[in-house]
Structure 1
Amino acid sequence: MLHRGQESTDGTGGGELTVPMAWLYAEYIADELLRTGDLMPPTSFEFRAGRDALALTIFLSDTDGELSGIRVVTQLETWLSLTAYDQPWQDWVRERMAGLAAEADRSGGPAPDLELAEAAWRWLQETELLAPDLNAVPGGGALVGEDEGPKVWTPAWQLGLPLGHLAIHLF
């Protein structure tokens, strides 16, 4: 049995192997947006945080199961509003993930898209990155370079979300 966003590898729908097409497509879009924005090296943890946060936003905002058929340009405003600074993004992610998990439990079938989204969400929550402390006054008010100012350990999603938001703006 095939599920939302999944196809068998041979295209026949035989159910031998399901491919998490919706998640892979969301991750691809997020990767391209971040690479286009050229905000950080693609090999950095910051890039991964931005890609995962943006991929979750893209994947979870696909409420109609049409992700592979969307046009990126038509979704940019939605993604911008979801990733905006004043939005409770992490609460929205938790609610959408819980809803998708309940849906997967009801269907009883495999949910590789959801499994990859859950892994990304776990990484974003559990991983902390050392980032500039934007709330501190560096050097007691003296001008200090970005690398010299105070730093704090920050959950990856808190760093990745604004990077994803900025990447959308730069697109």
Structure 2
Amino acid sequence: MLHRGHESTDGTGGGELAVPMAWLYAEYIADELLRTGDLMPPTSFEFRAGRDALALTVFLSDTDGELSGIRVVSQLENWLSLTAYDQPWQEWVGERMAELAGEDAAAGAPSPDLALAAEAWRWLEETELLAPDLDAVPGGGAVFGEDDGPKVWTPAWRLGLPLGHLAIHLF
């Protein structure tokens, strides 16, 4: 059973502001992995896409509600498998979000962690970034540089997911 973000700021749970600690911790882990990989400037939309995709992976893969007690190194293989190119990551995110929403509804208490995760997921789905067309085949054997080649508008999660995956590899 997941118990996310139902603590108050002082831990008493007495109707005070609930702090989304699980989401904030997942976002911190994702941020650190991306900064360590030094793949793009932290102020870029690409960085945000990678951070949000990776934070969702970290947050949603915590099925035992032990996020704050995990050791990052012990979870890297799991996160790598979830973010791999051939995995249906977006379907997995949708299923896990629905599952957590159902748990919140059953508990009768909305989770601030889930609200922030839903906001990140909404941004990743609705925001499009101009990115190199990774499916384009270069004609005539030309090698494309960073600024060369065709570009397409891509949902942010399609760009962020491989960036997050690569950041895990580089860690």
Shorter-chain TM-score range: over 0.9
Q: How many residues get paired?
A: 169
Unmatched runs of 5 consecutive residues or more in structure 2:
none
Q: For 1:14-36, what per-residue CA distance to the aligned partner results, in whole angstroms no more than 9, with x for missing partners?
A: 23110000000000000000000
What is the aligned partner in structure 2 of residue 80 from structure 1?
80
Q: For 1:100-136, what per-residue CA distance to the aligned partner results, in whole angstroms no more than 9, with x for missing partners?
A: 0111111111210000000000000000100011222
Correspondences of 1:100-139 after superposition (within 5 Å)? 100-138=100-138
| 2:114 partner amino acid | L
TM-score in terms of structure 2 length: 0.94
What is the aligned partner in structure 2 of residue 153 from structure 1?
153
Once the 2 structures are TM-superposed, how far is the Cα of residue 10 of structure 1 from its aligned partner?
A: 1.9
Once the 2 structures are TM-superposed, how far is the Cα of residue 139 of structure 1 from its aligned partner?
A: 5.7
| 1:46 partner amino acid | E
| 1:118 partner amino acid | A
What is the aligned partner in structure 2 of residue 47 from structure 1?
47
Once the 2 structures are TM-superposed, how far is the Cα of residue 137 of structure 1 from its aligned partner?
A: 3.1
* Greater than 4 Å deviation, 4+ residue runs: none
Assess if the C-alpha contact under 8 Å between 1:6 and 1:21 holds in 2.
Answer: no
Q: What CA distance in whole angstroms lies between the structure 2 residues aligned with 1:140 and 1:104?
A: 55
Q: What CA distance in whole angstroms lies between the structure 2 residues aligned with 1:75 and 1:143?
A: 36
Correspondences of 1:65-76 after superposition (within 5 Å)? 65-76=65-76
Assess if the C-alpha contact under 8 Å between 1:139 and 1:149 holds in 2.
Answer: no
Unmatched runs of 5 consecutive residues or more in structure 1:
none
Q: What CA distance in whole angstroms lies between the structure 1 residues aligned with 2:143 and 2:66?
A: 49
Paired-residue identity, % = 86
What is the aligned partner in structure 2 of residue 31 from structure 1?
31
What is the aligned partner in structure 2 of residue 8 from structure 1?
8
How has the CA–CA distance of structure 1 residues 19 and 141 changed in structure 2, closer, same or farther, with 3 Å as cutoff? same
Assess if the C-alpha contact under 8 Å between 1:5 and 1:68 holds in 2.
Answer: no
Assess if the C-alpha contact under 8 Å between 2:5 and 2:18 holds in 1.
Answer: no
